[in-house]
Amino acid sequence: MFHKEGHKIIIITTAIIVTATILADEFITILWLRMLLQIAFLICFVLILQFFRNPKRQTQLNDNNVVSPVDGKVVVIEEVEEPEFFKDKRIQVSVFMSPINVHVTRYPIGGKVVYSKYHPGKYLVAWHPKSSTENERTTVVVENKVFGNVLFRQIAGALAKRIVNYANKNDKVTQGKDQGFIKFGSRVDVFLPLDANIKVKLNQKVRGGESIIAHK
């Protein structure tokens, strides 16, 4: 199953690779070179398919839990000042996605969208400390009956050139459902209340929509 954001790219890539394979077979007479090129085309095609995959996830709906919005590795767990929406101290949990991770962003908690905003910006590497405030990003806040307001932020990385955000203010959203997509390497920050019980550790690998990152 592939994410809808990849359908156009997959179709175009398929057409290019099929055409290139036919041309290579027709005009390249050196067998080893032709086979090498065809293998390279196949690898490229497989990489595109795996990047846009959208596996089904079994989210256990629970307002007392916050699940990871994305697949990847936990790179930040710290108390910070959140300047955009809360303007006070929160616990930040950040998950970094490499290009080989699933890049679907899922709602970490269910409730009502009370804030959704896109910010143009730079393309610093996603693990850079200033990427959270200076890179291209989107900020979404979901109001939940147990956690109150939970903010999560999609952040473009050095390779990411497009962030897709489906969240609109006043939307009623379900935990674990698709919220967006980030193309080609990035990270997501989640900002939680100070009394949230963090259930992950630094460098832990997490799965979007399934791994519990906080409990209350």
The closest of 139, 153, 154, 141 to 184, measured between CA atoms, is 154
Q: Is residue 82 helix, strand or coil?
A: strand
**Around Cβ 165, how many Cβ atoms within 10 Å?**
18
Cα separation, 150 vs 179, in Å, equals 14
What is the arrangement of strands in the sheet containing 104-106, beginning at the earlier edge strand?
Answer: 104-106, 178-183, 162-165
Q: Which two tokens stand for residue 18?
A: 């099929």
Cβ neighbourhood burial of 156 (10 Å; 0-12, 13-18, 19+): buried
Q: How far is CA 61 from the centre of its chain?
A: 20
* CA–CA gap between residue 54 and residue 60 (Å, rounded): 18
Which residues are known catalytic residues? 186
Whether residue 109 contacts residue 66, with contact meaning beta carbons closer than 8 Å, is answered with yes
